[in-house]
Amino acid sequence: MKTIKHTFFCKDLSNLYLSEEESHHAYRVLRLKQGQQITIINGKGTLAIAEIIGLTKKQLQFKVVKSNFKKEVEPKIHIAIAPTKSIDRFEFFLEKATELGVSEITPLICKNSERKIIKQERLEKIILSAVKQSGNLYLPKVNQLIKFKEFIQRKNKNDECYIAHCENDSNKIQLKNNLINQKNICILIGPEGDFTKEEIILAKQNKFKPVALGHTRLRTETAGIIACHTVKLILST
C-alpha cells in the first residue's frame, strides 16, 4: 500500500485521535490542514491511510481511509547491550537497530559499564522516530536498565542465545556461521571494556553460545548494529 509523506504513531487506531504531541507536530511544525491525508502506524503491524477531519494544536482527529496489516518478520531479534559512556553513540545504535528491524532492546549494567543511568523516555522517543522514518511497522520494546546477572537468570529459554565478546575462547565461532533458523535470537553485547571473564563464564553456564562478529575489535554500538544486521541478512525472509 502506497504511503503518504507524513507518518504518525497512534497506539489505538480505533480511537481516531492522535496524541497531543503528535497533534502538535502536525499542527505547528508541518502545518497540515483539515482534508489532507496522512500515514498512521500503530507499532503492531498495521499501516493506515487517514484523512484529517479536525485539527488543533492539541488534537488531531482522523478517519481511516484504508489500512493494511503486515506480519512481523521472523526471527525476532533481542539485543541486550551495555549503554556507552557517550549517550550519543548509544542513541545512534538505537536508531540504526530500529531501522534494521530489532524486536527488543535491553540496556545492561555490567562490571565494566561506564554508564549506569539512562533516560527511558528519551530512548523510547528515539526509537519511535526511527520507526516512523524507516517504515518499520513494529515498534521495538525497550526494557528498563538491568544488571547483567539478573538478565542472564531471566532469559527466555526458547530463544537461541549468544554472547559476543573479545576474549580468546576456543569455543567461539563467527555468529554468521552459527545461526539457527526459525528461532528467536538474543545476543549480548558488552561495554567498551568488554565483558569480564566471570560474566562470560556465567553466560556460558546459562547456555549462551560465545560468538565473534568479525575479525576486528568493534565499538559497542557498532557491535550491536552488526549483530542485528547479520541476523536479518542471513535469516530474515
Of 225 and 153, the one with more pLDDT: 225
Q: Cα–Cα distances in Å, from 144 out to 21, 57, 113, 123, 147?
A: 23, 32, 16, 10, 10
- Averaged over 26-55, what is the pLDDT? 95
CATH number of the domain located at residue range(s) 77-235 in this protein: 3.40.1280.10
Instruction: Give tens-digit pLDDT for 161-191.
Output: 999 998 888 888 999 888 877 689 999 999 9
What local confidence, expressed as pLDDT, does residue 104 receive? 97
Pairing of strands 185-189, 146-147: unpaired
Q: How far is CA 60 from the centre of its chain?
A: 27
pTM of the model: 0.91
Instruction: Kindly tell me if the per-residue pLDDT of 237 is higher than 70.
Output: no
Amino acid at 197: K
What local confidence, expressed as pLDDT, does residue 1 receive? 65
What local confidence, expressed as pLDDT, does residue 4 receive? 76
Q: Given this structure, which CATH class describes domain 7-69?
A: mainly beta
> d(Cα 127, Cα 144) in Å, to the nearest integer?
14
Would you list the domain boundaries of the chain? 7-69, 77-235
Those residues whose C-beta lies under 8 Å from the C-beta of residue 87, and which sit 6 or more positions away, are: 115, 118
Instruction: Give tens-digit pLDDT for 190-232.
Output: 999 999 999 999 999 999 999 999 888 899 999 999 999 999 8
